[in-house]
Amino acid sequence: MMLAFDSHRADEYGEILESLNRGDAFGFNATLMGFGSHRSIRHFHVNAIWKEEGKIEVSPHVHSHGRYAVNSEFLSHALPN
């Protein structure tokens, strides 16, 4: 799932976006632009986003065939010693 922001929305919600960390809870209102498939992601244009109470622990992870393939640079920054 991809949440896309036009420049106006990115400016409007920039402070919230900058404050989000891995595992933070947030809500959003968005318009579905593309359904996606097994080869492409669902694409939404964000109308509003807000931070909510709560957080879950999300461990850094890698995908063997994706954007986050295993590489030494990623591992040196993402995984604890």
Alpha helices in the chain (DSSP H): 7-12, 14-19, 72-78
Domain total in the chain: 1
Instruction: Give the span between the Cα atoms of 34 and 45, in whole angstroms.
Output: 10
Model pLDDT, residue 81:
47
Instruction: Give the span between the Cα atoms of 72 and 70, in whole angstroms.
Output: 7
Q: Strand order in 43-55's β-sheet?
A: 2-4, 43-55, 24-34
**What tens digit of pLDDT does each residue of 3-54 get?**
999 999 999 999 999 999 989 999 999 999 988 887 888 899 999 999 999 9
* 64 band by pLDDT with thresholds 50, 70 and 90: low
* Token pair belonging to 20: 């989000």
Range of the domain at 35: 2-78
In this prediction the pTM is 0.66
* Token pair belonging to 17: 């976006």
Model pLDDT, residue 77:
55
